[in-house]
Amino acid sequence: MSKEDWKDYLVTVGGIEFRPVSMGTLTLLYNIQSPLVVGGEVEPLDFCVFAWMHAAPIMEVFAAVKSGTYIKKSVLWGAEVPPVVFASYIPDTIAALADDLSKVFIEESSGYIPFPVPSLHRQSWLVRVWNFITRLFQRG
């Protein structure tokens, strides 16, 4: 899918265009065991990787995940992004992601088995992430 195909779905925050969360990026986040998808202790780096995955060229993201350089690339990208961009983009996107995933239903007869996202369906996970985001951006 080209950038032109995404144009109606892009969100621009602070001059940075973010693609919507997709099954592809969810799969990548699952493969790197991001606590935003699989649950666990969330750290600022997790938000940086998440945002970078949705702003960087998609082929760069795939290559970086495959080669294991996604942390370096996301931190270098994030070093040039003002904190207000994260504060504006992350909370709404994570809340929408949790809402979308809570509505997903795949019939067993379809032959598709969704990857496990156990903590996204628990309110406690969303509350923990929301509290972390709030604390993180109140400091700045």
Residue with tokens 């998440």: 50
Report pLDDT for 139: 53
Report pLDDT for 99: 62
> What does the pLDDT look like over 98-116, one tens digit per residue?
666 555 444 445 444 454 4
Report pLDDT for 102: 54
| Dihedral sign, Cα of residue 99, residue 100, residue 101, residue 104 | positive
- Helix segments in 11-57, DSSP class H: 23-31, 35-38, 44-55
Report pLDDT for 110: 47
Report pLDDT for 54: 92
Q: Which residues of the chain have pLDDT under 70?
A: 1-9, 97-140
> What does the pLDDT look like over 111-132, one tens digit per residue?
444 544 444 444 455 555 656 6
